Every structure is written in C-alpha cells, then in structure tokens.
Structure 1
Amino acid sequence: MLKRLLPLLLGCACAMLQAAPPLSDTRLHELASDPFWLALGHYQRDRLGGWHSHVDDDAFFFAERGERDPAAELAATLAALYREPGLADRHPQCRFPARTRWLRERLTLNDLPQPQCREYDDWYAEIAPHSTVLVFPAAYLNSPSSMFGHTLLRIDPAGIDTQGSALLSYALNFGAYIEGSDNSILYAWKGLMGGYPGLFALLPYREKLTEYSRLENRDLWEYRLNLTTEETGRMVEHVWELRQIQFDYYFFDENCSYRLLELLDIARPGLELTKGFSLTAIPADTVRAVEQAGLIESVDYRPSREKELLERAAPLSQAERDWTRRLAEDSAPLASPAFQALPTGRQAQVLDAAYRLIRYRKSGEERDEASARDSHRLLQAINRNPPPRLAVARPVPPEKGHPSRTWQLAFGNREQRSFAEYGLRMAYHDLQDNLDGFPLGAQIEIAQLKLRQYEGNHWQLQQLDLANIRSLTPRSALLSPWSWQVGSGLERVIGKGRHDNEQLVGHLSGGIGSTWQLDESLVGFALATTRLEQNEDFAAFISPAAGFDAGLLWRNPLGNLGLEAGADYFHNGEVRRTLSLAQHWEIADNLGLRLSARRELSQQASPASEVSLQLRWYHY
C-alpha cells in the first residue's frame, strides 16, 4: 500500500514545491502598477480611471478580464509560469519570455520549472539582436496608408557596420492585415474607422528595403538608436509575445508609428514616448519624439531609385537625355557611330542613366526578355566605361520639418468688412507651409476647421475640410508623372448668401494634369478639374462642374509664394472663377506668417475681394 501511495505523495509534494509563491494584495498591486508591466500589457488609462489594453486578442491574456485588470493578469501569469514543464514550446514561459524574465527578476523566482523552449531559442538565435535602427520611408502620396510616411525598426546583429550588410538584418513592422483586395477608397475608410486588425511582422530587411526604396520609389531615413544590446534584446523578447496577436489599427493614432513607440518603451522603461500621441501619431512627429528623447545616435539617408535617376540625368544635355531614352528602349544603338562619337565621359553618364531608367520603369514588374537583354548590354558597357560616383545631396531630414498640427490666427478684410479668423488643422502640410523636411508640390491637409468673426460679432463657419490632398510632381525629360488633387468638405463660395454674398456649400472635387519645373525654384502646374457641389443657390440638390486649376509655386528667400487661378463651369450655366496670391514667411521652424489676397467672380453675384494676414503656429 505504501509503495502505491509513495509516487502519489511525491507528485503532490513536487506540485506544492512548484506552486506560485503567494503575494499580498499590496505587493500584487505594486507590481501590477509598475510602468514596465503596464507596457508589457499595452495598458492605457481610461478616461474614467480604469485600465484597458490596446491588444484586441484573447490569446494574449491569462486572466478572464486581463485586458482591463493588470493585477489579475499578473496573478494569472505568475500561476501559469509554474505549469508542467513537459508542455515544452507550449509552456507559458516559452510563450511569454519577457514576462517570465521580469517576474523572475522582481520576485527572485529561483524555483521556476525549466521547460525546453526550442522554437523560441532558435528564433532568437536566428535574429541575434544586438542594436536597433529606426527606419522612416518618406511620404508616398499614391498610397492611402503611406501618405504621411511610415516607420519600422531594423534589428541588427553584432558587427553589422564593420563585417556585414544591413541586408542581413531583420525588419520589425506593424501594419494593417488585409484579406482580399479592397480598393483605395474602401481601404482608406476602413483604416480610418479601425476596420482592419493590426499585426506585428518580423521579416528580412532586404524585403522591406525593396518594397519602399524600389517599388514605391521612396527615400529612406535610417536612425541608429543608442539602445544597448540588453535593451534591444528585451524588445525582441516582447515581439515574440506579439506573434499573430491582433491590435486595433487606425491610420491616424494607433498605427505603425504608435506601436513602435510602445516597443521602445519596452526596450528602455520610463521613456513614455506614447504620452504625447493621444489624438494622432504622424510618423514624422514620432521620429521627432524619438530624437527629443535622446535616442538617436546617427542618421543615414538612402535616396530612392527615382531620385538617383534624376540626379544622374541632371547634368546631361538635351541630346544626351534623348540618347538615354533611346538606349533604355533599345540598346542596339550602343554600337552606332553617332553614340560612339560622344566623349567617353559623357557616354559613361548616359549609359548609367539609361540603365537606371530601365530599372525604374520595371519596378514591381516581371522582367521581359527585351528589357533583360538591354539591361545586360548596358551593364557590360558600364563595366567597360564606369561613370563617376553618384552623390545625391542629402535633403533636410523629416524630423527637422514643422510639427503636423497647426493653429491659425488671421485678420483681414472682405468687401470693406473686417474679420478675425481662427483655425485648426490636425495634419499636416500645405503648398505654402515651411518647406524644410517636405517636398515642394506635396500637400496633405486633414481635418481643417476655420471659424470667422466679422465686425458686429457675427460668427460663421468658414471652412471644414475633411481632406485636401495635392501631388504636384514636375515632369522631366525622362519621367512624366501625373499631377493630381482631391478634396472634400464644407467651404464658403461667392453666391447669394445672407452675409456678404457668401454661401456655405458641401463639395467633393478632384483634378488631374501636369506640373513643370520652370526654374530651380519655380514650378508651374495645370489641371483639369471636376466638382460635385451641394449649394442652396442651385435648384438641383447636387450640381456637377468641370473646370481648371493652374498656378505657379515659387520658392523664394522669404519662403513660398503661390499664384493660382481656377474656374468651375456648372451644368446649370453658373461660372465661378477665382484668382489668389499667397506669400508665406518662414519665421521659425514652428512659426509662419502668411499674406493672402483673393478675387472671386460669379455670374450669380457681385465680385468679391479679400485680403488677410495670418499667423500660423505649428506644434504637436
């Protein structure tokens, strides 16, 4: 009998020996309120004082209400760590190494079971985390999710700068998980409303480098962080815990940049980088927050394929650019006497530009036999006659640009009536704003409100933009991109309104055309436009119009000047024309002064003129 009971008694004794140590309520709540534990659970304070986790996945929690109770989750985690070690890779210690390490250190848990976590150990050894680089692919207007840019982390092994290549590193990315192929409009809407789950992904850096720098032709900024090896490893530990774990994903706040700030809070507890991003988390602003926290050690710049092509073609004459286009389309003229007559040095630059042009045109496409043949011939010619080294000038880094939120205060006069105007734009840049860190001709305005107060204390809503986006990329001898614009919201237009011939209308508008580089600091553009308008002056509920929008943008010593003329020709016979001029003074990185003048004409109302002086304060 005793022999039969002995194994049972020994098992019970082992189970008792491997039970989680009891914690007093005081100690439990002390640990559960530790900033590092709260960061591990991605907990945030509710407005009413409770807690909630950004993680939207039951698989992440042991406690029934773990997403809202950090103390209950800590107690449940502690108990789970003492489960049977034979669970191996399915053991909670293997599933949550960052939680395990922290609780072991804080509670001196020397009696924890020792499960074999082969899957995690192999994964961690493959990544071999040693240092961290924050990567910022610049804004890309043709993708709704990337209009503001993007951020990801690069995890480097030891000796990457002296012995290896960054192409051997891993990229840590957070993004929306999309099943199927939603169109751009549906994608933007669901992204705004949280219609997609967000997931972390760890993949070879070379894949992300190809996607951003090559396929989408985006500049890359790489910020080496001063995280220690221990801090980098601690962050990677937590990334293992987030495999296939779903978060809510929103374009403007709980996005790629916000989630990476949370990871940096894991790497170096106490940074609290997410505190300033309760409403929006624009990538450039989050990079600025990382810089202000003193995390950036050095900065590297990788120009896009498009920028390298344009830089190589810049010193070429018109005839040499013609040769570049011909050779990119067909390499046969390489041996022609006309091409051989070019000086050897000029041939080298044309060859390099032609090869880059082929690669640019074939980005994201399957290489056909003809382009592969032409590329090979051009490479052979380049090897025989190498061009001079290409040096692309480094632009102003994006974190040195103005912050994304803008407060506006203006004083002006409209048809002998003085007014004050108060405005707020949530994001993020227009054509006349302080230009450092932004490309000339790019505009993204989201959620802009303007309230106007006329003399006599008459208040009115002047403007409410949902979105106002413009991409005015100049055409060149080698590239011919389309320029486009789209906008929607409420605005005041000249009409039969009760106050000073103004009518508040709703609109959805767009346009497409071309932009030309007229001088080093001067561009001109012309677009054909369409517009749908809801206007109480019109008999129809919705009235369509066709028209044009044309203008000049001049980068001058004071700042940016814009001259613009446009017209809308409505189906009901109404013709509305506008002429505007705006000069922006760049007073400081976060301060601007803008003088604007505008003339409006309509067949249904008397002409109206307006002039204003506006102070703009950029902040986050």
Structure 2
Amino acid sequence: MLKRLLPWMALCACSPLLAAANIPHERLQALADEPYWLALGHYEHARLGGWRSFVDDPKFFLAADGAEHPAAELAATLKALYAPAELGDRHAQCVYPARTRWLRRQLQLDDLPQVACQEYRTWYEDINPHSAVLVFPAAYLNSPSSMFGHTLLRIDQADVDSDNTALLSYALNFGAYIEGMDNSILYAWKGLMGGYPGLFALVPYREKLSEYSRLENRDLWEYRLNLTPEETGRMVEHVWELKQVRFKYYFFDENCSFRLLELLEIARPGTELTDHFPLTAIPTDTVRAVKNAGMIDRIDYRPSRERELLARGTPLSHEEKHLARSLADDDSLLDSPEFKALPAERQALVQDTAFRLVRYRATGQDRDTAVASRSYNLLRAINRNPPPALDVERPGQPEDGHESRTWQIGAGSRDGEAFAQYGLRMAYHDLNDNQYGFPLGAQIEIGQMKLRQYEGNRWQLQQFDLVTIRSMTPRNELLQPLSWQVSGGWERVPGKNSDDDHDTLVGHLNGGAGGSWKLTDELQAYALGTARIENNQDFAATIAPAMGFDTGLLWSNPLGNLSLEGKGDYFHNGEVRRTLSFGQQVELSRNLGLRLSAQREFSHEASPRNEVMLELRWYHY
C-alpha cells in the first residue's frame, strides 16, 4: 500500500526523520475537510456516508485507508514531507508537488527539507505550462468511444500565439486503457460497467490533431481558457501526481470529460464544475458548463478533412464533381479534352477537389505508390494553377445545441382510447430534435424509457430502449457513405391479445444499412434494408427473425424538423408488420420542443391501429 514510500522506509533505518510540524488535530481535520484537499484526492461522498476516492489505485495513497479517509491521507502526507532529503526524486515532495505546495501555504511549512526533485523539474520545464485550451473533437458515430465526442486539454507555452507553435504543445488526455483487441460490443459493455482502467496521458498535440481531424475525420473545436499561468501550472503539477495512476473508467459519468473538469477545479478552486454532473457527463454538456463558468476567452475551429473536401466541392456543378471524382481515380485525365475545355479557374477548383479526395481516401491506409503518384501529379497541377483560398463555413458550436437529457410528457389517443405518456431519455439526440450543433443525420439515444397511463388508471411500460443509433449522412457525387442503424430494447407491438393487454411487450434487436440522399438543402430521403430478431410471447419460437425495410423523408422547415417514415418487417413465421409514421417538432426554445406524432400500424396478428400524440419535450442535463 505504501509503494511510493518503500525507499524512504528503508532509509529511515539509518537516517533520522526530521521532526514534522506539530499541528493540532483540530487544524488537520479542518484542512482535510477543505474542498481543495478533497479535490486533490478526488474524493466524493460515499453512498453510505463518509468519503471515497475516484482513484482506483492504492499507490496514489500514502495512508493504508487514504482512499476512504481524507484526514488520514493528509496526516500521512504531512509526515512524508519531512522525510530525509536523501530520498531525492522518490521523496513525497517530488511525488506530490501539488499537495506540497498547498500544505506549505496553508500551514506555513518553512522548515521542510530542501529536495531537488530533478525528474519532476525536468518534466515540468519541458512542458513549460503557461495557458490551456479545452479541445472538443466532434462526435464520430463509427467509433463506440467517440459517439458523443471527446474532450482533452492542450497545454501551451507562453509564445504559442505569437510564434504559432500550437503543434508543439502537449495534449492532456484521459481515456480507457485497453489491453488486447476487444470487439465493439465487448468494448461498449465494459465501458458501461467500468471494466477498463482510465489513465491520464500527456502526448504531443500534433499526434492528437492528426488522430481526430485526419484519421477519424472529425471537426475540432478549441476553447481558449482564461486560466492564468499560475493556475495552469497548478493543474500540471497535479497531473504529475496522477502519472500512471488508475481510475475506473465509465462511458457516461467517470469519463474523459468528468476527469478534465476535476483538473480545472484544481486549477481554479471554487469553480465546482463536477457538481453539475451527478449522473452523466456528456462531453458537450461539460464544455457548456466550462463556458457558463466564464472560463473561455476564445473559440477556434479546425474543420476535418472531409468537411474541407465538401467545402471545396460545393461550387462545382454536377458534371464537374463527377470529373473531379474521375481525376481522383486517374490523373491522366488532366490532359483529357473534357478537362482542358474548362476555364482555368474551374480547372483549379476541380483538380484541387480531386487532390483532396485522393488524400481523404488514403486516410489511415498504408502508403500506396499509385496513390502517391496521383497525389504528386495533382499537386503539381495545383501549383501551376492554384485555386482561391478555401473558406469553410463554420458550423454551429456544439455547446450551443440542446442539452442531452430529455424529459417528456404527452397526451394522445390510440384507437379512440386516451392516454398520457411520461418519458425520460438519458442521452441525447434524435432526427426530430433541434439540429443546431449536432452532426448531420446523426441519432444517438441511450437509455430511453416511456410509461403510458390509459383511461381507468391502467399503466404499462410502453418502451424501454437500451440504445438507438442511426447514421444518415447523405451521399453525394464525391462521397458515398453508408447509412446504417442499430437499436435494441423492449417495445409494444400489435398482438393476438391486444384488446386485453394493450399490445404485446417484446424484446428486440434491429439493424439495417442503405443510403441517404439530399433532395434539396432542407429535404433528405433515405432507404435501408433491415433485419430484426424478436422475442414475442405470441410466437411459437423463442427468437423470431425478420427481414424488412425502412424508408423515409426528413425535412428541416421553419417550425423545426419533420419526419415521414414507412417500415416493414417480414417474419419467417409468416407474420407481416408494417408502420407508417409522422413526426413534426416545433422548437419553442433551444431546450424546449413540442412534438406532434401520428402512426398507423398494420399486422397479421391484429387489426390496424391508429395513434396520435402531442408531446412536450424538455432538454436538460
């Protein structure tokens, strides 16, 4: 338990321990209750009273019971600060510089041993912290760990703006430490259940910039914090204390964003950022909390390679986009009559679009000589006939979108029978929600529950979704992304006993893939083939498979977002189920919406069902 002080204990056998300061017990207890000491130990109130630390690593603590007793840990730390200076880099003053600084100031410890702490000093001077930037890589649906976005800190030196040296800064990241090759399902499960340790890592910012904006094609938002050099240094001091120290990692609360909020509370005592997130810590919500705390001075935007490609291709005609795509496949078309017939300024746009498409396709791939040759030839043509500077339109800032948790209350009628419906969605967006600040065509819903109360005070669980993810990114002449969806949980469907039981509750797992297309700037269509497995008490088989379709329209209109959808499932046992549905959300404010929905269900198991509902939705984290 006292791994960090084993060398000190050995030295104590032959070196006298300097006398620790004689501090009254009441004073030590008062210090142990100070919010800053609790923050240094990452303590929170335990469920059954007392304290517990988020740190899941005994080597972080000097007291045997330090993880549960802040006072014991403070006493052990104070004693260790007076250990012989011969311990050098293994001395508690070197291992815990943030604790040392705070205790020295609080207790006026002017008689501490003088320790050089060469390893720490070299590390700190290499980082040379002066200011900090909160970085938000936008959501990326194709990675389970990135569906909600991510946050990290960039630690800058004093000359970062004047010398434009951000790429030489360090990125401070907290993430799950994964050993082996877990598949996406196992990764998601272990991430939800705290099956991975979480570690802080300090790496060159250029590596993270390449990983997020290039390899994963994610926009990056950089929020310049107004931390003073002293505050930034205080935070970096504590990072040294957390080197190779393990935490439990949970996707939804004790995650990258929550841990960074704790560091900001170390930097600026009294901010109390983590108090806003007792249940979940969605990255966009944590960025909003930092902004609301008045800690952001400036916001910079770095578009992804994909967004740059689409922006360059926007002024091209349909034919020119196809020509750019052909050029990306065959650079010899630079000498074709079709390309040379274009005016010089159009040639510049087409060949630059083709070059960007080649580089986009090569992202994350091993070097290919044919691709490298095409890139070189296109780049030579660009140098001879350069295009105008690229102007990428800045999208809505993620933190200005609606908040992540959604409370719902609605009233409606199902085949003439009135009902009230009460719902809660833990996170965080669907295709009818306010689109501002969210990725186009993205739906991510986690932990959605709906309870329905029919006439006569008859209650039933209407729906419980574990997860619903839909990626409806439109296809175009340059890029043809696959649209896909997956969902699982329990829902009500028409059944044999529907007249008595108000439909049948079934467990299900669905998936599908297809395409999505923009018909106009505001209108989008999609069509997917789907597969479903279902556990239905009305079926003879325990698990019933089905194939089907899901198609619809999405319209962004002056009131909000409208969806029109038709889908069907054709089961192996002969059951056929089809649904037509409509939804229109009216945006009352950023975090308040009114949604009208209607649907008609057809099933071999029951007569057609009609339902209409008006629902008030409040977004709040």
| Partner residue, 2:527 | 526
Matches within 5 A, 1:251-290: 251-290=251-290
- Structure-2 residue corresponding to 1:76: 76
Equivalence map 1:225-240=2 (5 Å) = 225-240=225-240
Q: Cα offset for 1:326?
A: 1.8
* Structure 1 range deviating more: 249-258 or 437-446: 437-446
Q: Is the CA contact (8 Å cut-off) linking 1:451 and 1:463 kept in structure 2? A: yes
Alpha-carbon offset, residue 164 of structure 1: 2.7
Q: Deviations over 1:545-585 (max 9, x none)?
A: 00000000000000000000000000000000000000000
1:329, CA displacement in angstroms?
1.5
**1:42 aligns to what?**
42
CA deviation profile, 1:239-276 (whole Å, cap 9, x unmatched): 01111000000000000000000000000011111011
Give the aligned residue type for 1:38: L
Partner of 2:378: 378
Distance 1:106 1:212 in 2: 42
Call closer, same or farther: CA 1:457–1:336 in 2, change over 3 Å: same
Q: Read off the aligned partner of 1:388 and give its amino acid letter.
A: P
Cα distance in structure 1, aligned partners of 2:42 and 2:114: 27
Q: Does 1:568 align with 2:558?
A: no
Residue 396 of structure 1 aligns to which amino acid in structure 2?
Answer: G
Question: 1:500 Cα shift?
Answer: 6.5
- Cα distance in 2 for partners of 1:499, 1:522 equals 41
1:338 aligns with 2:326: no
2:583 matched to which residue of 1? 582
Q: Give 2:163's aligned residue.
A: 163
- Residue in 1 aligned with 2:303? 303
Whole-angstrom CA distance in 1 between matches of 2:553 and 2:565:
6
The correspondence of residues 203-602 of structure 1 with structure 2, limited to 5 A, is: 203-496=203-496, 497-499=498-500, 502-602=503-603
Who is 1:5 aligned against?
Answer: none
- Measured against aligned partners, the alpha-carbon deviations of 1:259-296 in whole angstroms (never above 9, x if no partner) come to 00000000001111101111110000101110111111
The answer to whether the Cα contact below 8 Å between 2:223 and 2:297 also exists between their aligned partners in 1 is: yes
Distance (whole Å) between structure 2 residues aligned to residue 12 and residue 434 of structure 1 = 68
Q: Which amino acid aligns with 1:244?
A: Q
Does the 8 Å contact 2:159/2:165 carry over to 1? no
Instruction: Output aligned runs, 1:138-177, within 5 Å.
Output: 138-177=138-177
Q: Please report how far the alpha carbon of residue 429 of structure 1 lies from its aligned counterpart in structure 2 after TM superposition.
A: 0.5
- Tell me the number of residue pairs that the alignment of Structure 1 and Structure 2 aligns: 609
| Worse-matched range after superposition: 313-322 or 247-256 | 313-322
* Equivalent-residue separation in structure 2 for 1:523 and 1:419 (angstroms): 33
Q: Structure 2 counterpart of 1:594, which letter?
A: R
- Aligned amino acid, residue 597 of structure 2: S
2:6 corresponds in structure 1 to none
2:422 is matched by which residue type in structure 1?
Y
Counterparts of 1:310 and 1:534, CA distance in 2: 43
Looking at structure 2, the residues matched to 353 and 13 of structure 1 have their Cα atoms a distance apart, in angstroms, of 73
Partner of 1:3: none
Q: Secondary structure at the match of 1:129?
A: coil
Distance of 1:588 and 1:371 partners within structure 2: 49
Structure 1 position 440, deviation (Å): 3.1
Distance in 2 separating the partners of 1:555 and 1:509: 26
Q: Is the 8 A contact 1:501 1:605 kept in 2?
A: no
* One-letter amino acid of the structure 2 residue matched with residue 168 of structure 1: L
**Could you tell me how far 1:143 is from its partner in structure 2?**
0.5
Give the equivalent residue in structure 2 for 1:4. Answer: none
Which amino acid in the other structure matches residue 183 of structure 1?
N
Provide, for residues 346-393 of structure 1, a one-character-per-residue CA deviation record: whole Å limited to 9, x for no partner.
111111111110111011112211111111111111111111111111
Task: For 1:498 and 1:28, locate their aligned partners in 2 and report how far apart those are by CA, in whole Å.
Answer: 69
Identity %: 68
Offset at residue 15 of structure 1 (A): 4.0
Cα separation, partners in 2 of 1:368 and 1:14, compared to 1, 3 Å:
closer
SS at match of 2:514: strand
d(CA) in 2 for partners of 1:210, 1:500? 55
Alignment RMSD: 1.4
**CA shift for structure 1 position 14:** 9.1
CA distance in 2, matches of 1:546, 1:128: 59
Q: Does 1:613 align with 2:614?
A: yes
Give the Å deviation of 1:13. 13
Which amino acid in 1 is paired with 2:614? L
SS at match of 2:508: strand
Work out the CA distance in 2 between the residues paired with 1:493 and 1:202.
51
Q: After superposing the two structures, state which structure 1 stretch, 44-53 or 606-615, moved more.
A: 44-53
Q: Secondary structure of the equivalent of 1:158?
A: coil
SS in 2 for 1:148: coil
What CA distance in whole angstroms lies between the structure 1 residues aligned with 2:403 and 2:563? 21
Alignment TM-score, normalising by the size of structure 2? 0.96
Paired letter, 1:84: P
Aligned partner of 1:8 in structure 2 is none
1:495, distance to aligned residue in structure 2 (A):
1.4
Q: From the superposition, tell whether residues 500 and 46 of structure 1 become closer, same or farther in structure 2 (CA, over 3 Å).
A: closer
Trace 1:121-136 onto structure 2 (pairs within 5 A). 121-136=121-136
- CA deviation vs aligned residue, 1:439-494 (integer Å, no higher than 9, x gap): 23110111111011111111111000111110111111111111111111110111
Is 497-506 or 61-70 further displaced after alignment? 497-506
For 1:277 and 1:44, how far apart are their aligned partners in 2? 12
Q: Once structures 1 and 2 are overlaid, which stretch shifts more, 401-410 or 45-54?
A: 45-54
| Aligned twin of 1:91 | 91
Alignment partners' CA distance in 1, 2:480 and 2:493: 34
Q: Counterpart of 2:78 in 1: which secondary structure?
A: helix
Q: Classify 1:372/1:74 alpha carbon distance in 2 versus 1 (closer, same or farther; 3 Å).
A: same
Supply the distance in 2 between the matched residues of 1:15 and 1:105 (Cα, whole angstroms): 25
Compute the displacement of 1:116 (Å): 2.0
- Of the structure 1 ranges 50-59 and 336-345, higher mean CA displacement relative to structure 2 is found in 336-345
Cα distance in 1 for partners of 2:447, 2:14 equals 65
Q: C-alpha offsets along residues 522-542 of structure 1, whole Å, 9 cap, x if unaligned?
A: 110001001111111111111
Superposition deviation, residue 43 in structure 1? 0.5
Letter of the structure 2 residue corresponding to residue 503 of structure 1? T
Look up the equivalent residue of 2:297 and give its one-letter code: E
Q: Which moved more, 1:493-502 or 1:398-407?
A: 493-502
CA separation of 1:347 and 1:188: change in aligned 2, threshold 3 A: same
Give, in whole Å, the separation in 2 of the partners of 1:47 and 1:339.
70
Distance (Å, rounded) in 2 between the aligned partners of 1:320 and 1:453: 57
Measured in 2, the distance between the counterparts of 1:12 and 1:595 equals 77
Aligned to 2:5: none
Contact preservation (8 Å) 2:139, 2:439: no
Which residue in the other structure is 1:7 paired with? none
Equivalent position SS for 1:495: coil
CA-CA distance at 1:25 after TM superposition: 1.3
Q: Give the distance between the partners of 2:82 and 2:382, measured in 1 at CA.
A: 65
Corresponding residue SS for 1:76? helix
One-letter amino acid matched to 1:617: W
CA distance, structure 1, for counterparts of residue 13 and residue 80 of structure 2:
17
